[in-house]
Every structure is written in structure tokens, then in C-alpha cells.
Chains A and B, each alone.
Chain A
Amino acid sequence: MLSKLFFGYFAVIMVALSLLVITRRNPVHSVLWMLVLFFHIAGLYLFLNAEFLAAVQVILYAGAILVLFLFVIMMLNIKVEITAERFIGEWPIGVALGLSILMLIYFTTSKLIQGPAGQFSIEAIKAETHTKALGKVLYTEYLFPFEIASLILLIAIVGAIVLAKKRG
């Protein structure tokens, strides 16, 4: 009962915060609402026994990506932003499309049958600690995708520098 109440609080707040993010006129307000949303997502991860991911969520999303967004907003002209029209003229079509896709997801997942459970039960993770268990899976079974991820980050760094530098 208490866990359902906890989840209900998180669900209501997170939906409200996402609506605030996409409707605010001032982009700075959107970024700050998104910061609160990311902290709530980290709380939900803690609720799902993924404490390492909760820390990564706070450090990486709230600490790095949102600061990047704030830096870019500082370079733009906020004064024009606040007076300009927010939504495209055909916004009811977008909302209708979203609602139809929500119905589609609801009808496809309402008949969900849970598969067989794996070997990482809560007791097994507790005995080994979550970070260690996750690291073992990441560095043995998913070593090659991990290397590719580092390559993606390298390409992103090079690409960002090339795109943002002055023409010379």
C-alpha cells in the first residue's frame, strides 16, 4: 500500500513536470523544471533498487547535460524568445497523434505476460553490491558494446568541436 502511494506521488509529479517542460515560454524555466524531473527519476531508480543508476542519473543528466543546455541558452537571445509564438499552428494534430500513440501503447501492453526471472534477485545483488554486479555484466558480457560507446563519445567530442568552431 505504501509503495503504491509512493509510486502514485512520483507518477503524478513526473507527468506534471514533463508537461511543464514542454509548455513553458522561457527555456530557462523549462531546463529548471527538467532538473526537478531528473531528480524524481533518480528517486524512482532508487525505488527500483538501481542505486548506481540513480547516482549516474543525477551526476550525468542533472549535472552535465542540463548545464550544457543552460550554457547554450545563455548564448541565445531570450528577449525574442519570450515574445515569440510558442506552438506551431497545427498543434491539435500533434496532440491527437500523441493520444493515438498512447492508446496504441496501452492496448499492446495491457496483455503483458511477465517472462521467467533471471539470476540477479534482490538477495543476490545485495550479497554482491549493485555496482559490482552491474560492472561484472558490463565488462564481461557487454565489453564490445562498451568499447563502441567510448568511440561514440569520441566522435561526439570531435564533432562538437568541428561544428562550433569559427570559420577560418
Chain B
Amino acid sequence: MVPLNWYIGLSAVIFVIGMVGFIVRKNILIMLMSIELMLNSVNISLVAFSHYLQDLRGQVFVFFIITVAAAEAAIGLAILVALFKNKAAVHTDEIMEMKG
């Protein structure tokens, strides 16, 4: 039997990789994919908790997370397409209208 802590460790490592990817990459497309990575790592930990606590609520939460991830991907990619049409830029350092 694999200990529950191992699953949480795996989930944490993938979450942190996704977070670092979101921070260090310039390409908005890869940043959106890093968000998907983070959501998936949370799903892994929820399914593991659901299995070890013998309760199906964790898996129901995974459903809702998948729903929100699909909506987020659709909206994020629509924003990206609109941005590319208007500015022909997908790198975060080329977008500086707000002088940040």
C-alpha cells in the first residue's frame, strides 16, 4: 500500500513546477498550460484523499475542477486570440499598455 503522503508529495511537486512555469515563461500559451498543470496536480491530491478516506466527495470536486478548467481554457485562449489579432504579441514583455 502506497502511503497517502507520497501522493501529496507528487501533487505538491507538480503544482510547484506549474507555478514556476507560470512565473518564468514569457509565452502566454505556456503560462495557460502551466495553469492546467496546477489544476491537474490538485486533482491528483483530491482523488488520492478520496481513495484513502473512502469518501466520494473528493471525486465530485474533481468534476467541478475539470469543468472550471475547461471554461478557463476556453476564455483564456479566446483572450489570447483577441490579443494576437490586435497586437501580434504572445510574449508578456511586449504587452505594456498599463506601464507596469
Contact = CB atoms under 8 A, between A and B. Distances in A.
State the majority secondary structure of interface residues on B: helix
Contacts of A30: 30, 33
B47 A21 contact: no
Contact of A160 (B4, B74, B93): B74
Contact of A18 (B17, B68, B81, B84): B17
Interface residues of A, number: 84
A101 B60 contact: no
Nearest to A119: B54
A84 B75 CA distance: 26
State the majority secondary structure of interface residues on A: helix
B27 A137 contact: no
Contacts of A14: 10, 14
Interface of B: 1-2, 4-6, 8-10, 12-21, 23-27, 29-30, 32-34, 36-37, 40, 43-44, 47-48, 50-57, 59-60, 62-64, 66-75, 77-82, 84, 88, 90-93
Interface of A: 3-4, 7, 10-11, 14-15, 18-19, 21-22, 27, 30-31, 34, 37-38, 41, 44-45, 48-50, 53, 56-57, 60-61, 64-65, 68-69, 72-73, 75-77, 81, 84-88, 91, 94-95, 97-99, 101-102, 105-106, 109-110, 112, 114-122, 125, 133-134, 137-138, 141-142, 145, 149, 152-153, 155-157, 159-161, 163-164
